[in-house]
């Protein structure tokens, strides 16, 4: 069990943008702005996506989990 609402995940499980949005409750534009160094909402600690194919990216679940844990630790 983990912070992903009681779900289990494997250490190198790749999750989709839709799943990242569901887990973080952030919108698509917000997520991509957090990844863009030129954006006002850039977050260098937010997990970078990995390219899976020409038209598909994903995120490593454990990296997203660690990012959420770091946010929780700062409160």
Is 43 part of a structural domain of the chain? yes
Q: Determine which helix (DSSP H) or strand (DSSP E) holds 66, and give its type and residue range.
A: helix 61-73
What range does the domain containing 33 cover? 14-74
Checking if the pLDDT of 55 tops 50, the result is yes
Is 5 part of a structural domain of the chain? no
Q: Determine which helix (DSSP H) or strand (DSSP E) holds 8, and give its type and residue range.
A: none
Look up residue 27 and give its two tokens.
């919108």
pLDDT at 12: 80
| Confidence tier at 18 by pLDDT (50, 70, 90) | very high
pLDDT at 9: 57
The number of folded domains in the chain is 1
- Comparing C-alpha atoms, which of 75, 52, 18, 56 is closest to residue 64? 18
Round the CA-based radius of gyration of the chain to a whole number and report it: 12
- The DSSP output letter for 2 is -
Is 9 part of a structural domain of the chain? no
């Amino acid at each position: 069990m983990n912070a992903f609402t009681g779900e289990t995940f494997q250490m190198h499980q790749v999750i989709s943008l839709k799943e990242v949005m569901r887990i973080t409750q952030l919108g698509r534009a917000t997520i991509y702005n957090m990844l863009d160094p030129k954006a006002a909402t850039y977050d260098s600690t937010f997990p970078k996506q990995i390219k899976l194919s020409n038209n598909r990216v994903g995120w490593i679940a454990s990296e997203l989990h660690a990012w959420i844990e770091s946010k929780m630790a700062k409160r």
